């Protein structure tokens, strides 16, 4: 059974930091590209960042470049999203996606940025 589970969300003040984690099981993790998306209330789900299988390539949405960092640990079947200098517009449910021959989504983790 494939499971993709996000954690690490929470509430933070503007300018603060959070680190999201995504644990994947039931897949050959190192063969999957991993992605983070987010969805704010009333908006469509949008791409945030991705990382390829061996971490040699990372891409970011323009809105998060320089503030967010994606990384992965293939030995632990984990992918991370370090989010710094958070802004109110970063508030959303963040989703992890494992993308390979098939794609698998997690259930999401809420990030709230508010003073």
> What's the pLDDT score for residue 93?
98
Mean per-residue pLDDT, 12-23: 98
Q: What distance in Å separates the CA atoms of residue 90 and residue 107, rounded to the nearest whole number?
A: 18
Helix, strand or coil, per DSSP, at residue 50: strand
> What's the pLDDT score for residue 78?
98
Q: What distance in Å separates the CA atoms of residue 95 and residue 46, rounded to the nearest whole number?
A: 10
Tens-digit pLDDT profile for residues 58-83: 999 999 999 999 999 999 999 999 99
């Amino acid at each position: 059974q494939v499971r993709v589970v996000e954690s690490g969300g929470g509430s933070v003040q503007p300018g603060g930091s959070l680190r999201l984690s995504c644990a994947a099981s039931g897949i050959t993790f190192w063969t999957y590209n991993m992605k983070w998306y987010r969805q704010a209330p009333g908006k469509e789900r949008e791409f945030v960042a991705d990382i390829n299988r061996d971490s040699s390539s990372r891409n970011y949405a323009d809105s998060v470049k320089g503030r967010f960092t994606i990384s992965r640990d293939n030995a632990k079947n984990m992918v991370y999203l370090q989010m710094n200098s958070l802004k109110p517009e970063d508030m959303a449910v963040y989703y992890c996606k494992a993308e390979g021959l098939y794609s698998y989504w997690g259930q999401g983790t809420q990030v709230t940025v508010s003073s």
